[in-house]
Each structure stands twice: as C-alpha cells, then as structure tokens.
Amino acid sequence: MSITEESVLLPKFRKMTTHRTFTMIKPDAVENGHIGGILEKITSAGFTIVAMKYTQLSKRDAQAFYAIHKERPFFDELVDFMTRGPIVSAILEKENAVEDFRALIGATNPEDAAEGTIRKLYATDIAENAVHGSDSDENAAIEGAFHFSGREIY
C-alpha cells in the first residue's frame, strides 16, 4: 500500500476504532420532560450521536440487559422501573467515551453526584437516576449491539 492510499484510508479506520459508549435516557427522565436537556448536555460535552432510538424495553429485554444485577435485592424494582415507559437509547462516540461519559453522568446516587452532572441535574434518587452509561469498552460494545443493528449505526 502506498503512503497516499494509507493517508486516505486512515481517517476511516480511525473512525471505526474511535471509542464508543452506550446510553439510555431512562423512563423517569423521559416522563419528566428531560430528553432535550440531557441530549444538550451530551452533545455540548463533545459526544457525537452515532445511533439513537425512542423505544420501550420489554421485561425480557430489561432482565437480559441488567442480568449482571439479577441477584441484587433491587433487581425486580429495576426491571419494573426500566420497563414502565419509553426510553431513548443511543450510541455515543468520543475519545475516551466510556470514562468521560461516566464523569458526565455522575454517581449512581444523585445525592453523591458532582454539581453539573446529568444525574445531579435530572435524577430523582438512586433507583430513578435518569441515565445509563456503560462501565467498560467491552460492555459498551455488548450493550450497543443489544439495541442496534449495524445498519442503524452511522
């Protein structure tokens, strides 16, 4: 491959490998009218939306998505909450996306979340905490693929 060909291909390759995370705007935040405010925080922080949909999880979806928590005492409450109304799910792209997005959303319990974070601004309590953010690159890929087919990602 010539240097010219490489320099033409590199930006595409880099785009494919740029870090991504997965998010959901949870039913509480949708009910409370915060979709617009949360998307504004996300794009202002430098994240690009590469996939997005307005949808509602079935019980089976929520049980599978949060299967890691199935032994926790709050699991049934979590499944009921996540299925009680529509959500917005999205794949976001940015260098260091997973870590930067976790910083942007703040601690699980909004009482512990830093000022200016999405959960501090929009969450109700530790259960109804407005947004989900993937906790690792591996889980971001799994969660993104759970919600979106390849042709829904741009």
Residue 126 or 153 having the CB closest to ligand ATP: 126
Helical ranges in 46-88 per DSSP H: 59-65, 75-83
Q: Which of 35, 108, 117, 99 is nearest to 74 (CA)?
A: 108
Residue 74 or 146 having the CB closest to ligand ATP: 74
Record the tokens describing residue 54, joined without a space: 């307005």
How far apart, in whole angstroms, are the C-alpha atoms of residue 69 and residue 66?
Answer: 6
Record the tokens describing residue 77, joined without a space: 């409450």
Applying CB under 6 A, the site for ligand ATP has a residue count of: 11
Contact residue for ligand ATP among 63, 89, 117, 129 (CB under 6 A): 129
How far apart, in whole angstroms, are the C-alpha atoms of residue 62 and residue 65?
Answer: 5
Phi, psi at 142, each rounded to 5°: -65, -45
Binding of residue 74 to ligand ATP (CB under 6 A): yes
Residue 132 a catalytic site member: yes
Binding of residue 136 to ligand ATP (CB under 6 A): no
* Catalytic residue IDs: 132
Residues in the site for ligand ATP, rule: CB under 6 A? 69, 74, 77-78, 108, 126-127, 129, 132-133, 135
Annotated binding site for ATP: 26, 74, 102, 108, 119, 129
